[in-house]
Amino acid sequence: MFPEIGQFALALALGTALVQSVLPMLGAARGNSLWMRSARSSSIAQLVFIGIAFAALMRSFVVSDFTVRNVYENSHSLKPMLFKIAGTWGSHEGSLLLWVLILAAFGAGVALFGSNIPVALKARTLSVQAWISTGFLSFLLLTSNPFERVFPPPLDGNDLNPLLQDVGLAMHPPLLYFGYVGFSIVFSFAVAALIEGRIDAAWARWVRPWTLAAWMSLTAGIALGSWWAYYELGWGGWWFWDPVENVSFMPWLLGTALLHSAIVTEKRDAFKSWTILLAILTFSLSLLGTFIVRSGLLTSVHAFAVDPERGLYILGLLGVSIGGSLTLYAWRAPAMEGGGLFTPVSREAGLLINNLLLTTATGTVLFGTLYPLFTEALSGDKVSVGPPFFNATFIPMMLPLVVMMGIGPFLSWKRADLKGVFQRLRFIAVLAGLAGLATWYVARGGPALAYLSVAIAVWLLLATMREWAVRIKLLDVPLTEAIRRARNLPRAAHGMTLAHAGLAIAMLGFIGSSAWKSEEIVFVQPGSVIEIADFDVRFDDVERVRGPNYIADRGTLTVSREGEFVTTLYPERRSYPVAQSTTTESAIRSTLAGDLYASLAEPASETAAEQGAWTLRILYEPLVNFIWIGSAMLVLGGGLSLSDRRLRVGAPRRASRSTPVATPAE
Amino acid sequence: MKRAIATLPILIALVFGAFFLWGLNPDRDPNAIPSVLISQPAPDFDLPAVESIGVPGLSREDLFGNSDPVVVNVFASWCVPCRAEHAVLTRMVERDGVRLFGINYKDKPEDARAWLQNLGNPYERIGSDLSGRAGIEWGISGVPETFIVAGDDTVLYRYVGPVVGAEAEEKFATALAQARTRNGGNS
Amino acid sequence: MKWKSLAATMMLAALPFTAQAVEPDEILDDPALEARAREISKDLRCVVCQNQDIDSSNAGVARDLRLLVRERLVAGDTDAEVMEFVRARYGDYVLLKPPFKLETYALWLAPALLLLFGAGTVIVVLRSSRARSVADKLSDDDERMVAEILTAENEVSS
């Protein structure tokens, strides 16, 4: 009964989306305000219908209704409740339903909270959003119906891939989708602006909160995904440059560029056609990600069940949406007037370089990810493009960007005083260099690039803090006055400081855990002691424990340092009988200085196995937690910026034109 | 100039789209790896026989100077699909007079012996590759894999996975027929 | 297609040993040699896995290749010779860092070309901006005035 309601609700949503695709757009063209206003109720109706469908599917998972094929294939009655719920988006069909749900949520969000947006622009935007909706809802209903029944109903399900039965990963898709589907509304705004043929500072201000919201989610989603890979895969690695990771990273890179170029459009009325292009491309890359993950075009460790026919359908959707919007762009963009003027040394120029580097980096990742496909098509040869390529090309582009990030916020709009900036930053450059040298003195090993990177990360951190201090005149005026200034500072400014500092911190984590990681791989028997990074790890024993849907071998490790007890670690090797696979559950002792990471495996060597030995991997990953802390700061920085009253959704104020030359930069 | 730049994104997108369309071709297997051995001489290897099995071992010399192309099959008793393929190979030998050589990949001799006693032994020679090193020389990525080698020890064809099912068998038979005509032309 | 992927899954399931990547008994006694082996292994792609290097793969073939890499190193091969040894048997496909040759010129040069193209565009934009700003010279005072009025307004309204 419920699955049928869900399916019916989806059909209703499709119908609503169809009407919304046409009516508000026509209304905007003819000045019919009734038709334009229909977008509001139809957006909300779409969200309600898709919400019902989603709830119906979730209910099927929660009650383990195995008459629904999707539940049967991806769930099991013994699975813990959290993972039953997460199973809703664990399959291709379910995750696509989540996809359209978020699409509708962003549409409804603009309909409900976008009261400051001119009615015609809003109507057009929501119509464009409905085009995307129509495409994906029909895809869902025609090729990937999540409510399909099986007959006769099986007794129990096939269980979800145990690797995915994890809290971090359960939350990963919703956040990731919220991010990359969230860019849909920015895309819709851009297309609507192209149709209207008008874009100004106000447009950029309306779009900014939505961009920020999507960007924050995507940041959190990617960070969560790499955290999951870190603790679940038993390798201690957090980024593998796998195609599926790359396709979520590219919209993030370009979204970051968009976030910055939109600031210029908002404050200086410049970079207009560029901002529009970025808005289109960012969502295009999200769509590309959906396509690559679901079509089996490239080989990847992740990826859903592959079906070329579905791939063809999504490719069609891509063709219409990306092709259509870029054609519109080619037609309309040249007519857009360039706005505010600036000199080569100015905030604008700085942001231009930021955009140049971010876009080039995105292009490089895109090209590298797809290159194997290109050569295969052209010459039939298969090549692999792996982490060594991406590290060799991506890092050299990011380092100058980070150096720029330290300088950029000091530059004022239109025309900046570079000499003054350098005077302010001289001392910080020296400190950063010293930090690099100090690291070299302490660590002594690892690649030279690591020391340079440490210096650059410290540079960014200190320069960011310095900029904040300059703004509130910290130490120049009495403390109470500085605090008052800090309070009056727009939240967006605090947000920027926090986010930039977050990146610096995350960078220290990237460097520490890749350059100075130590690793021990040994056969152990009860009583064996392993020394790693001034810890002594004693392997005590292994016992068999039983979980709800798995059986595990759990090792006990006693960790001490210089004879003093530190902690006990329990790495596990779980085997899931229903899903017929095993996972390693690593045990981690986390501190700010670094993680002690242990994972357990059965030895491959038969002689070792006969003696009852185990293979133990112990890693020490210095500073690795800085990655997650830094990522959290990026997200919080975005959140602070989003809460700025000047951006508050619904604040009905027209953007001010330009700020005077003399006003300090913000 | 402005217009040219504005048109660039759509042009690039179209080129990408064309590649994607090509990539979705259902006959394309994104996981397939082309063999570097095709049209090359067979790799150097020398494998001893599986103990007390009644057929000799296999080395590169055995692939040279045959009048007809031979089939080299990499198999193991622990490999489930090999069992199904065994029947197909036996039929090829008995019905079509194919000369079949085997590489017993990472298999315990006693297991291989039991397996062959149970199912019958269609192989003329079997080399025992305990360490898997000959497997690497042949560039195999899994078991089973089957090669067609010309009389002058040139590797002509490689099939990854079990030659089982109408489609696979036909593909293999075609390749074998082609190999035979090539050989005929040479001699 | 479906049959093929099924077969691939079966093959993977049928591999005799499942180990967790590098095993203690593979590790060489000489730490310098072992470190080189690890680096090489990270640049070699596992042929049966979806997209993994042999260093982190637990497939049987990956283990064999790891052992082979170490064997070659012990025999005195240079890193490049070891790479070439594996490449000769499995093709360019196994190199995670694609070699710089005719087929990959485009790949390796793309980042630099993209950057150059972008930088060129930026310079053109900056030039045109400067040209216009020279033309607009007279309006500078006006603009300042407008801006002052706007700031004043903003302060009143906020």
Residue A407's pLDDT is 94
The pTM of this model reads 0.90
Give the model's confidence band at B183: pLDDT under 50 very low, under 70 low, under 90 confident, else very high: low
Crossing angle of helices A387-407 and A347-379, in 10° steps, is: 170
Give the model's confidence band at B185: pLDDT under 50 very low, under 70 low, under 90 confident, else very high: very low
Q: Which of A464, A486, A482 is nearest to A473 (CA)?
A: A482
Q: Is A586 helix (H, G, I), strand (E, B) or coil?
A: coil
Contact C129 A341 (CB under 8 A): yes
Domain limits of chain C?
2-98, 103-157
Residue C138's pLDDT is 44
C-interface mutation test, from A362, A389, A584, most C Cβ less than 10 A away: A389
Residue A648's pLDDT is 57
Give the model's confidence band at C148: pLDDT under 50 very low, under 70 low, under 90 confident, else very high: low
Domain tally, chain B = 1
pLDDT at A660 over 90: no
Query: A17-61 pLDDT, tens per residue?
Result: 999 999 999 999 999 999 999 999 999 999 999 999 999 999 999
Give the model's confidence band at C1: pLDDT under 50 very low, under 70 low, under 90 confident, else very high: very low
In this predicted model, which residue has the larger pLDDT, C34 or B35?
A: C34
CATH number at residue B115: 3.40.30.10
- Chain B neighbors of A323, CB-CB under 8 A: 10, 13-14, 17
Whether A473 contacts chain C with CB within 8 A: no
Structure tokens at B99: 């000369």
Report chain C's mean pLDDT, rounded to a whole number.
Answer: 75
Q: Which of A90, A98, A70 is nearest to A10 (CA)?
A: A98
Domain tally, chain A = 2
Full residue range of the structural domain in which residue B104 is found: 36-186
> Which chain C residue has its CA at the smallest distance from A358's CA?
C115
What's the residue count for chain B? 187
Please count the residue pairs, one from chain A and one from chain B, whose beta carbons lie less than 8 angstroms apart: 66
- Chain B neighbors of C48, CB-CB under 8 A: 141-142
pLDDT at A662 over 70: no
Q: Which of A422, A404, A593 is nearest to A508 (CA)?
A: A593
Q: Do A91 and A73 meet the contact criterion of CB atoms below 8 Å apart?
A: yes
pLDDT at C11 over 70: no
What lies within 8 Å, CB to CB, of B110 at 6+ separation is none
- Chain A neighbors of B10, CB-CB under 8 A: 323, 326-327, 329-330
- Chain A neighbors of B6, CB-CB under 8 A: 273, 329-330, 333-334
Give the model's confidence band at A301: pLDDT under 50 very low, under 70 low, under 90 confident, else very high: low
Full residue range of the structural domain in which residue A275 is found: 2-163+187-222+245-332
Longest dimension (CA), chain C: 82
Report chain B's mean pLDDT, rounded to a whole number.
Answer: 89
Give the model's confidence band at A97: pLDDT under 50 very low, under 70 low, under 90 confident, else very high: very high
The strand pairing partners of C22, in sequence order, are none
- What is the C-alpha to C-alpha distance for residues A43 and A101, in angstroms, rounded to an integer? 11
Residue B66's pLDDT is 85
Question: In the predicted model, what is the mean pLDDT of residues A475-497?
Answer: 90
CA A204 to the chain's CA centroid: 22
**Please, which contacts does A24-30 make with residues 24 or more away whose CB atoms are closer than 8 Å?**
A24/A123, A24/A124, A24/A126, A24/A127, A25/A123, A25/A124, A25/A127, A25/A195, A27/A123, A28/A120, A28/A123, A28/A124, A28/A127
Question: In the predicted model, what is the mean pLDDT of residues A625-652?
Answer: 83
A-interface mutation test, from B24, B38, B78, B160, most A Cβ less than 10 A away: B24
CA A35 to the chain's CA centroid: 36
Rounded alpha-carbon distances, angstroms, from residue B140 to A300, A604, B73, B77, C44: 20, 21, 11, 17, 15
Name which of B34, B78, B139 is nearest C89 (Cβ-Cβ).
B139
- What is the C-alpha to C-alpha distance for residues C104 and B86, in angstroms, rounded to an integer? 41
Sheet holding A518-524, edge to edge: A518-524, A614-622, A594-601, A587-590
Residue B49 lies in a domain: yes
Give the model's confidence band at A665: pLDDT under 50 very low, under 70 low, under 90 confident, else very high: very low
Longest dimension (CA), chain B: 80
Contact A380 B34 (CB under 8 A): yes
Structure tokens at C83: 């790479």
What's the CATH architecture for C2-98? Orthogonal Bundle (1.10)
- What is the C-alpha to C-alpha distance for residues B156 and B147, in angstroms, rounded to an integer? 7
Residue B137 lies in a domain: yes
Residue B19 lies in a domain: no
Whether A611 contacts chain C with CB within 8 A: no
Task: Show which of A278, A297, A332 is a domain's final residue.
Answer: A332
Contact B23 A373 (CB under 8 A): yes
Question: In the predicted model, what is the mean pLDDT of residues A214-235?
Answer: 90
Instruction: Provide the ipTM.
Output: 0.89
Contact B142 C5 (CB under 8 A): no
Give the model's confidence band at C156: pLDDT under 50 very low, under 70 low, under 90 confident, else very high: very low
Give the model's confidence band at C6: pLDDT under 50 very low, under 70 low, under 90 confident, else very high: very low
Beta-carbon-side half-sphere exposure of residue A369 (alpha carbons within 13 Å): 28
Residue A284's pLDDT is 97
- What is the C-alpha to C-alpha distance for residues C62 and B141, in angstroms, rounded to an integer? 9
Averaging pLDDT over each range in A104-108, A543-547, B33-37, which range is the top one? A104-108
- Chain A neighbors of B17, CB-CB under 8 A: 315, 318-319, 323
Beta-carbon-side half-sphere exposure of residue B143 (alpha carbons within 13 Å): 31
DSSP string computed for A606-640: HHHHHTT-EEEEEEEEETTHHHHHHHHHHHHHHHH
Question: In the predicted model, what is the mean pLDDT of residues A339-356?
Answer: 86
Question: In the predicted model, what is the mean pLDDT of residues C125-139?
Answer: 59
Lowest pLDDT segment from A93-97, A126-130, A465-469, C89-93: C89-93
Query: C15-43 pLDDT, tens per residue?
Result: 333 335 677 878 888 888 998 999 999 99
Q: Do A499 and A637 meet the contact criterion of CB atoms below 8 Å apart?
A: yes
- What is the C-alpha to C-alpha distance for residues A249 and A270, in angstroms, rounded to an integer? 27
Residue A414's pLDDT is 86
Contact C143 A523 (CB under 8 A): no
List chains adjacent to chain A, taking adjacency as at least 3 C-beta pairs closer than 8 Å: B, C
Structure tokens at C38: 């690890």
Q: Is A562 helix (H, G, I), strand (E, B) or coil?
A: coil
Report chain A's mean pLDDT, rounded to a whole number.
Answer: 89
Give the model's confidence band at A399: pLDDT under 50 very low, under 70 low, under 90 confident, else very high: very high
Whether A431 contacts chain C with CB within 8 A: no
* Percent of chain A residues past pLDDT 90, beyond the cut: 62
Beta-carbon-side half-sphere exposure of residue A244 (alpha carbons within 13 Å): 18
Alpha helix positions (H), A114-242: 119-143, 167-196, 201-232
Residue A581's pLDDT is 80
